[in-house]
Structure 1
Amino acid sequence: MAVSISDLKAQLMRQIDVNDLVQAEKVERYVSLVESFRNADETIKREGESITTENGSQRFTKAHPLIGERNKINSSLIALGKDIDSYRVSDQPSRESNDYDDSDLV
């Protein structure tokens, strides 16, 4: 079952600092790549993974051209996903060096 684009975008936006325009742009690019990947995948499923080309008296079968493009998009998604993960906002508040807890006392 495919994840909805709006749910995906919402989850990614929760993981970043939405006030950082660079991070927000990367999420937009990621979502756009997911849409492109899904469109390419749907076209390949509809037309088949191989196509037959006729050129005059010659006839040959080759892999669908979108397969290579889909693989490139997939590689870009993986790289951009790792980059977005590096921006993840921590669930725990950061403690500055001069903030102490009662448990820090001896």
Structure 2
Amino acid sequence: MAISISKLKEQLMRRIDTSDLVQVEKVERYIDLVKSFRKISKTISKEGESVTTVNGSQKFTKAHPLIGERNKINAQLIALGKDLGLDNKPKNTTDDQGGYSASDLV
């Protein structure tokens, strides 16, 4: 199930200082990259992971050309996410045990 773009944007905006226009621009850029990633993934799913090219009497199969582009976008998303501090816990998380308490161990 894909996450709603609007919900993703809301969550990202809660995690940054919205008065910092540079941070807001980075969130917008992140959302645009997510949209591109999803479009490329949809195209690859529709057309298949590999494509067959016929050139005269030659016929060869190779990986879909968009796979490389998807990998580049993924790397950009990771880098931008780190820049936004998305690899850290959200501001509103107070416990350091992942939501578990000692009573959960019983």
TM class, shorter-chain normalised? Answer: 0.7 to 0.9
% identical equivalent positions: 69
Partner residue in 2 for 1:39: 39
Tell me the CA shift for residue 48 of structure 1: 0.1
Number of aligned residues: 92
Tell me the CA shift for residue 57 of structure 1: 1.2
Answer 1 or 2: higher relative contact order, Cα 8 Å, separation at least 6: 1
Structure 2, gaps ≥5 residues long: 93-106
TM-score, normalised via structure 2 length: 0.80
User: How many Å separate the matches in 2 of 1:90 and 1:35?
Assistant: 25
SS at match of 2:54: strand
1:7-86 alignment to 2 at 5 Å? 7-85=7-85
AA aligned to 1:20 is D
Runs of 4+ residues over 4 Å off in structure 1: 88-91
Tell me the CA shift for residue 90 of structure 1: 4.5
Paired residues of 1:12 and 1:27 also in contact (CA < 8 A): yes
User: How many Å separate the matches in 2 of 1:84 and 1:67?
Assistant: 25
User: How many Å separate the matches in 1 of 2:65 and 2:90?
Assistant: 39
Paired residues of 1:44 and 1:67 also in contact (CA < 8 A): yes
Q: Aligned-pair RMSD on alpha carbons?
A: 2.0
Partner residue in 2 for 1:2: 2
Structure 1, gaps ≥5 residues long: 92-106
Report the CA distance shift for 1:89/1:51 in structure 2 as closer, same or farther (over 3 A). closer
TM-score, normalised via structure 1 length: 0.80
Paired residues of 1:16 and 1:89 also in contact (CA < 8 A): no
Encode CA deviations 1:29-87: one digit per residue, 9 max, x unaligned: 0000000000000000000000000111111000000001000100100010011117x
